[in-house]
Amino acid sequence: MIEKIKFLKNLAVFNDFDWDSAVIDDSSNVLLLKKTNIIYGRNYSGKTTLSRVIRAMETGSISEKYENPECCISIHDNDDVTQVDFSSHNKVIRVFNDDFIKQNLKFIINPNENVEPFAILGGDNNVIEEEIKVLKEKLGVNEENQETALYKDLKSLQKSYDTAKLVHQTAERTLASQLNEKAIGNPNGIKYNSEKYGDQNYTNAKLRKEILVVKKDEFVPISDEEKTAEEKMLLEQAKDDIPDLKELILSFEIFSTKTKELVEKPIAQSDKIEDLVKDAVLNRWVKEGRDLHKDKLDTCAFCSSEIKETRWDELEKHFDEESDKLEKEITDLVTEIKNESKLLDSIKIIKKDDFYSKYHGEFETAKAAFDNSIINYQRTLGLLISQLEKRKNEIINAQLFEAPDNAKSHVDIAVEKIEELRVKSNEYTEKLSKDQEKAKKKLRLREIYDFIATIKYNEQVANIDLLKTKLEEEKKKRDDKQVEIDDVLSQVSEKQRQLKDESKGADKVNELLNNYFGHNFLSLKAIEFEDEDTGNKHYRFEIHRENKKAFHLSEGENSLIAFCYFMAKLQDIETKGKKPIIWIDDPISSLDSNHIFFIYTLINTQIYGEDDFEQLFISTHNLNFLKYLKRLPNANNDDKKSERKKLYRYLVIERNDKKSSIKIMPNYLRDYVSEFNYLFSQIYKCSTMENVDDSSYTAFYNFGNNARKFLELYLYYKYPDSTSPMDKMKKFFGDENIPAVFTDRLNNEYSHLSGVFERGETVVEVPEMNTAAKLIIERIKEEDFDQYEALLTSIGESQ
């Protein structure tokens, strides 16, 4: 059964309906649908929209004119049905609404169209019917816990199959769980111990594959001693590759060549001061004095004697441009040599910890050789600097260059040794990684070998194979029995097709029209015709009046024919015997009270009399029809039952402006089914509320119409004469004209607008509504207190 309509969104007036928050009792318990569900709703409240949602479960789709509709229908023992797939259920659904009429009774829209034919089982071939009876007896009953014959056998075989399947699945799951724990279980699984077993991406599939490896006869696991050795190897951490040494560029040859050139470079002797040439110290002293005095002092700072111009000329010729240039070149070269020597002090070479410990001794030797070569090289550079400084101090006199040993070659040799060691270390890294990977695989396979022995893997697999064989045997027995049942069902269907008679469908509609409504002058005829393409004979249904195709049917006649057609169609070969869920949406449109009663009688006898349905929904806007529905079988005693055992659910659809909601039907509407009671309840609600909220908005919005209808009914029976409505109002309210005129104005303007069309565009004036409601209630209380008390009781209110 459908248990509830969980939610509706973007479906006409159902903008955002939620069952669990709307369909609740006084204790806020969520209530579910029952076998019979009576729904009351005023016109335009959303009854047809609701029926369209259910009909989508019958047809598989809903109107494309709904923009982004969302819905969810909860069905017992079935997944929820949503707008994604309306066919995701196993229920037989039959819905009577406007869409059903438009699809099947096209003549209502276009008089030249016909009625869709349908076939029911004929009654002329007794032999075939008897054969069908025998076949059905062979099949037996297929109701839960009441199965008989073949269905009982199938249930027993299904139970045996389910048991075998459960035992087999349990054995498989047990082994799978053990394998899963070993492969990827955290923290003891192989995957989470990759530092020992390798492969941090280990999976169940890899474990199953390696189980096959260790089960082979040729596989020999490592011994305990080998296992210990492999585990120790894994403790050695692989180091990152040592990067290439930065190229060390030394300029000894260049410095040596330049030093020789500058030390031995001669200076011209002409115009030189002889004393200064012979004494280098004096020469340096005079040069410094010259630099201190030139362009600064005219007298000697040492002796205070005047420095004559001729002396300046002699000094300028002695300290000429050539000697200044040589001195500068010597200074620049010394700076370059010192910079290189200083650079060597800060040079960074590979650290010992970059190498594996087995290479530490070799590295220390190579590093010491490198350090010594650097010291020797710096010492050699110092010899070059000494010769340059000596020439600089005796700039005028060329010196003999003494070439030192080339210490650069020793540096190159030391660097080469370290480079060779670096390459060896890196190569060992690669070898260690491979060796450790091999060790991890050996340890992993040994672990798997021990594991399958511990869990008795072979015994489990053998047992699972035996259980699978048993399962397949039980499956075959069940499937063979199902094939036997399907074969019998096929025979039944074939024989039913032999009995199929579409003319009987029309006869059934006519039977309902005549027996229940007395319409002998209207009938449905099955017209036989031949398909031009296939030559096969078919039927079409036509509405006839006095043996002629009928046109211009009244709305009432259309409604009667449509509903009789639907009721007869419940007997077609696609529905009969399949326990459908039936939804009937407002079947009494344009019918008088007599026909309304016949509609109720038809539902009572044809649906409840046959008892061939799983669930029934009936919606209506007519309170008179609602009164009859309360007489359906067991409806009167239903209220006395516990919630769990109730067969009926009474609901009401309430519309507030542009939004509708489904709620539990109020007691007064369910127990005292009369429009008079309902209208009184709405007026009484307006008289007790002074503010508009979501719960009271509808009562205020419809006040004018409700008050007008109530007063028409009340005053007609109070003053059953030809007095005008206004005079009756004056009699009712007393001698004062104001209450009568005031109430009449509200009733007419808010009910019919009465020329004040802008009233339809403005917000309802609550104070006026409240005042008018109080006037009506108070006057009834004064005029007829007994009736007032009875009305209060009927709507669940107390004095």
CATH code, domain carrying 98: 3.40.50
Instruction: Give the distance from CA 205 to its chain's centroid.
Output: 30
Asked if residue 71 lies in contact with residue 84, where contact means CB atoms within 8 angstroms, the answer is no
Characterize the bridge pairing of strands 648-656 and 120-121. Answer: unpaired
125: confidence class by pLDDT, cuts 50, 70, 90: very low
Helix (H) / strand (E) containing 529: strand 522-530
Helix (H) / strand (E) containing 656: strand 648-656
Bigger pLDDT: 301 vs 97 = 97
pLDDT digits (tens, 9 = 90+) for 771-797: 888 888 888 888 888 888 888 887 878
Q: Whole-angstrom Cα distance, residue 230 to residue 441?
A: 10
Place of tokens 């398909």: 531
Q: Whole-angstrom Cα distance, residue 25 to residue 31?
A: 7
Range 393-414 average pLDDT: 86
Range 573-589 average pLDDT: 87
Most confident of 234-248, 453-467, 505-519: 453-467
Total domain count, the chain: 3
Quote the pLDDT of residue 301: 65
Percent of the chain with pLDDT over 70: 81
> What is the gyration radius of the CA atoms in the chain, in angstroms?
55
Most confident of 288-302, 384-398, 527-541: 384-398
Range 398-425 average pLDDT: 88
- Count other C-beta atoms under 10 Å from residue 452's C-beta: 19
Peptide bond into 187 cis (omega under 30): yes
Quote the pLDDT of residue 167: 96
Q: Whole-angstrom Cα distance, residue 658 to residue 664?
A: 20
Quote the pLDDT of residue 269: 56
- Count other C-beta atoms under 10 Å from residue 754's C-beta: 14
Q: Which residues have a Cβ under 8 Å from the Cβ of 106 and sit 6 or more positions away?
A: 113, 114, 115, 116
Q: Do 739 and 790 fall within a single domain? A: yes
753: confidence class by pLDDT, cuts 50, 70, 90: very low
Angle 766-783/675-688 helices, nearest 10 degrees?
120
Q: Do 655 and 603 fall within a single domain? A: yes
Helix, strand or coil, per DSSP, at residue 306: strand
Q: Whole-angstrom Cα distance, residue 227 to residue 243?
A: 34
**Residue 215 reports pLDDT greater than 50:** yes
Range 577-603 average pLDDT: 83
CA dihedral 375, 377, 378, 382 (to 10 degrees): 130
Q: Within a domain: residue 82?
A: yes
Helix (H) / strand (E) containing 286: helix 280-293
Q: Do 694 and 664 fall within a single domain? A: no
348: confidence class by pLDDT, cuts 50, 70, 90: confident
Alpha helices in 9-148 (DSSP H): 19-22, 47-59, 98-104, 126-139
* Residue-number span of the structural domain to which 304 is assigned: 271-319
Give 762's DSSP letter: S
For residue 229, how many C-alpha atoms fall within 13 Å in the half-sphere facing its CB? 8
Give 640's DSSP letter: G
Quote the pLDDT of residue 763: 39
Asked if residue 599 lies in contact with residue 149, where contact means CB atoms within 8 angstroms, the answer is no
Q: Do 661 and 689 fall within a single domain? A: no
Average pLDDT, the chain: 82
Quote the pLDDT of residue 738: 43
Place of tokens 């054969």: 131
Phi, psi of 505 (to 5 degrees): -60, -45
Q: Do 681 and 787 fall within a single domain? A: yes
Bigger pLDDT: 759 vs 734 = 734
Report in angstroms the alpha-carbon separations of 492 from 122, 136, 149, 643: 14, 8, 16, 41
Quote the pLDDT of residue 281: 61
Q: Which two tokens stand for residue 531?
A: 């398909």
Report in angstroms the alpha-carbon separations of 639 from 533, 642, 644, 649, 667: 59, 8, 11, 10, 11
Burial of 151 (0-12, 13-18, 19+ CB in 10 A): middle
106: confidence class by pLDDT, cuts 50, 70, 90: confident
Q: Which residues have a Cβ under 8 Å from the Cβ of 775 and sit 6 or more positions away?
A: 733, 739, 742, 743
Q: Within a domain: residue 490?
A: no
Asked if residue 791 lies in contact with residue 674, where contact means CB atoms within 8 angstroms, the answer is no
271: confidence class by pLDDT, cuts 50, 70, 90: low
pLDDT digits (tens, 9 = 90+) for 647-700: 999 999 988 878 999 999 887 777 765 678 878 888 888 888 767 665 666 667
721: confidence class by pLDDT, cuts 50, 70, 90: confident
Quote the pLDDT of residue 4: 95
Q: Do 692 and 663 fall within a single domain? A: no
Range 507-515 average pLDDT: 75
pLDDT digits (tens, 9 = 90+) for 418-437: 889 888 888 877 788 888 88
Quote the pLDDT of residue 427: 83
Bigger pLDDT: 781 vs 397 = 781
Q: Do 661 and 716 fall within a single domain? A: no
Q: Within a domain: residue 739?
A: yes
Place of tokens 């009351």: 40
Asked if residue 271 lies in contact with residue 318, where contact means CB atoms within 8 angstroms, the answer is yes
Q: Do 624 and 703 fall within a single domain? A: no
Report in angstroms the alpha-carbon separations of 559 from 101, 102, 587, 702: 9, 12, 7, 28
Quote the pLDDT of residue 118: 61
- Count other C-beta atoms under 10 Å from residue 389's C-beta: 12
**Residue 557 reports pLDDT greater than 90:** no
First-to-last alpha carbon distance for the chain, in angstroms, is 42
Quote the pLDDT of residue 91: 93
Written in H, E and C, the secondary structure of 511-522 is HHHHHHHCCCCE
Q: Whole-angstrom Cα distance, residue 195 to residue 215?
A: 25
Write down the number of H helices and E strands in the chain: 28, 15
pLDDT digits (tens, 9 = 90+) for 437-470: 898 999 999 999 999 999 999 999 999 999 999 9
Written in H, E and C, the secondary structure of 76-87 is CCCCCEECCCCC
Segment among 228-232, 730-734, 749-753 with least mean pLDDT: 749-753
486: confidence class by pLDDT, cuts 50, 70, 90: very high
Q: Do 615 and 695 fall within a single domain? A: no
Q: Do 559 and 636 fall within a single domain? A: yes
- Return the amino acid letter for 366: A
**What is the DSSP annotation of 344-382?**
HHT-----GGGS-GGGHHHHHHHHHHHHHHHHHHHHHHH
Quote the pLDDT of residue 658: 83
Q: Within a domain: residue 606?
A: yes
- Return the amino acid letter for 486: D
Q: Whole-angstrom Cα distance, residue 693 to residue 152?
A: 59
Asked if residue 179 lies in contact with residue 475, where contact means CB atoms within 8 angstroms, the answer is no
Q: Which strands make up the sheet holding 537-545, listed edge to edge?
A: 522-530, 537-545, 548-549
pLDDT digits (tens, 9 = 90+) for 50-64: 999 999 999 999 999
Phi, psi of 795 (to 5 degrees): -105, 10
**Residue 561 reports pLDDT greater than 70:** yes
Q: Within a domain: residue 628?
A: yes
User: Residue 661: which of 695, 629, 688 has the closest Cα?
Assistant: 695
At which of 263, 293, 319 does a domain end?
Answer: 319
Q: Which residues have a Cβ under 8 Å from the Cβ of 423 and sit 6 or more positions away?
A: none
Quote the pLDDT of residue 622: 86
At which of 668, 698, 717 does a domain end?
Answer: 668
Q: Which two tokens stand for residue 54?
A: 């259910």
Quote the pLDDT of residue 469: 95
Q: Whole-angstrom Cα distance, residue 764 to residue 751?
A: 12
Report the b/e string of 481-503 with b at 16+ CB within 10 A: beeebeebeebbeebbeebbbbb
What pTM does this model have?
0.48
Q: Within a domain: residue 226?
A: no
User: Residue 651: which of 213, 9, 139, 5 has the closest Cα?
Assistant: 5
Q: Within a domain: residue 565?
A: yes
Asked if residue 182 lies in contact with residue 207, where contact means CB atoms within 8 angstroms, the answer is yes
Q: Whole-angstrom Cα distance, residue 622 to residue 626?
A: 6
Q: Whole-angstrom Cα distance, residue 653 to residue 660?
A: 7
**Residue 39 reports pLDDT greater than 90:** yes
Q: Do 662 and 753 fall within a single domain? A: no
**Residue 576 reports pLDDT greater than 90:** no
Quote the pLDDT of residue 511: 78
Q: Within a domain: residue 228?
A: no
Q: Do 687 and 658 fall within a single domain? A: no
Q: Which two tokens stand for residue 214?
A: 């260790």
Q: Whole-angstrom Cα distance, residue 398 to residue 739?
A: 141
Q: Whole-angstrom Cα distance, residue 507 to residue 513?
A: 10
503: confidence class by pLDDT, cuts 50, 70, 90: low
516: confidence class by pLDDT, cuts 50, 70, 90: low
Range 44-73 average pLDDT: 93
Asked if residue 619 lies in contact with residue 625, where contact means CB atoms within 8 angstroms, the answer is no
At which of 613, 644, 668 does a domain end?
Answer: 668
CA dihedral 336, 340, 341, 342 (to 10 degrees): 100
